[in-house]
Amino acid sequence: MTTTHDSGTYRPPAPGRPDIRQRTLRKDRWWLAPLVNALGLATFVVYATIRSFWGSAYYVSEYHYLSPFYSPCLSQSCVPGASHFGQILPEFPAWIPLAIIGLPFLLGFRVTCYYYRKSYYRAFWASPPACAVAEPHSTYSGETRFPLILQNAHRYFFYVAFLISIINTYDMVLAFQSTDPATGVTSFGIGLGTLILLINVIGLWLYTLSCHSCRHITGGRLKHFSKHPIRYRIWTTLSKLNTRHMQYAWLTIGTLILTDFYVMLVASGTISDLRIVN
């Protein structure tokens, strides 16, 4: 029998399960985490979308700062110097953002991330909104059907994200230089932007290497760890990182926005880079 009460449609519990008619018995602020997650994720998506269509102020030629949103910049539309790996693609029409080369893969990596899935399923779909809080949906098909079955592509996004992390690392190394605009001479240099790029790259590696797929790639499908001591050692290290994957996920949302925002401010001439060395 199905009846209706103040918390929605009541369905009798499965045999052996307690008959709890309230939506939840929790008395704490269980709604706070999904609310904060929704605001944080929405901020990142809106910011990344705006900046990817911005099309300018993504490179500081004097200090070789390249925004991670625009890396790699492979089009002939990129400003000179920003293409650290050459301009192998033709000019893009104005409606195609330069960030289209790397950003879709990075977003795909994050959208299919195990942690983010939990986060946005709770924040946006309330499926469920929190532990021990009933969800409003009457059916559940998991990730067995389109479109959610595409979440299984996470491992492939990981491969591309790993490559992009290497590219971001190379960009960061180049930021340890400064070029005198008058003479064109390039020498060693460090500025606040260099340090921000460095922190961002460290965060990106922590996030990428703590990925569940990365852990599985290094140590999964092994029958005997004792026969693969090196893989076991790598897997053990990554497993420790993996316990903090959620923290790295949020850390890198912050560092990506901060890095791009700082590069934008310096590149647009709004502020000057704080130079520490040269």
166-185: which residues touch ligand FES (CB under 6 A)? Answer: none
Q: Cβ distance 69 to 52 under 8 Å? A: yes
Give the DSSP H or E segment for 239: helix 229-242
79 DSSP assignment? P
Beta-carbon contacts of 111 under 8 Å, excluding residues fewer than 6 positions away, are none
- Pick between residue 113 and residue 201 the one whose CB is nearest to ligand FES: 113
The answer to the question of residue 259 lying near ligand FES (CB under 6 A) is no
**Neighbour-count burial for 7-33, b at 16+ CB within 10 Å, e otherwise:** eeeeeeeeeeeeeeeebbeeeeeeeee
Return the range that interacts with ligand FES (CB under 6 A); candidates 123-131, 196-204, 211-219, 270-278.
211-219
Paired tokens of 250: 């949020």
Q: Cβ distance 193 to 263 under 8 Å? A: yes
The answer to the question of residue 23 lying near ligand FES (CB under 6 A) is no
# residues near ligand FES by CB under 6 A? 10
The answer to the question of residue 241 lying near ligand FES (CB under 6 A) is no
CA atoms within 13 A on the CB side of 196: 24
Paired tokens of 180: 């005198």
- Pick between residue 64 and residue 245 the one whose CB is nearest to ligand FES: 245
Rounded to a whole number of angstroms, the minimum distance from the CB of residue 230 to ligand FES is 22
Cα–Cα distance for residue pair 69/206, rounded to 1 Å: 18
The answer to the question of residue 113 lying near ligand FES (CB under 6 A) is yes
- Candidates 47, 53, 92, 114: give the one binding ligand FES (CB under 6 A): 114
The answer to the question of residue 211 lying near ligand FES (CB under 6 A) is yes
- Pick between residue 21 and residue 244 the one whose CB is nearest to ligand FES: 244
Paired tokens of 178: 């400064």
Return the range that interacts with ligand FES (CB under 6 A); candidates 68-76, 88-96, 112-120, 220-228.
112-120
Phi and psi for 66 in degrees, rounded to 5?
A: -120, 130
The answer to the question of residue 212 lying near ligand FES (CB under 6 A) is yes
The answer to the question of residue 115 lying near ligand FES (CB under 6 A) is yes
- Candidates 75, 77, 194, 213: give the one binding ligand FES (CB under 6 A): 213
**How many other β-carbons are positioned within 10 Å of the β-carbon of residue 223?**
7
Return the range that interacts with ligand FES (CB under 6 A); candidates 25-33, 132-140, 182-190, 206-214.
206-214
100 DSSP assignment? G
- Candidates 51, 64, 122, 245: give the one binding ligand FES (CB under 6 A): 245
Residues at the interface with ligand FES (CB under 6 A): 109, 113-115, 154, 158, 211-213, 245
